[in-house]
Amino acid sequence: GYVTQTDAVVLGDKNLNQILETSDVADFVQGLLLPQDYANAHNGITPDSRGDINGDGVVDGRDIGGFVGLLLD
């Protein structure tokens, strides 16, 4: 099938609006520090679904530089 805009996962889009923007920063930080709170606030979506920027399978401090790089790109 086709990938629609609603199906696409935008890496770093932590507020789930299909756009990577500065308003994602607060949710990125929440996903890093309080992953269960992030999931509770986002209908069960875990922080790693869009926050594992370096692709190592873990959302942690090693993803911060990549996230900032995506925002500045």
Tokens (6 digits) for 71: 């925002």
Tokens (6 digits) for 54: 């370096």
Q: What are the start-end ranges of the H helices in the chain?
A: 25-33, 35-41, 48-51, 64-72
Give per-residue pLDDT as tens, 11-39. Answer: 999 999 999 999 999 999 999 999 999 99
Report pTM: 0.85
Q: What is the mean pLDDT of the chain?
A: 90
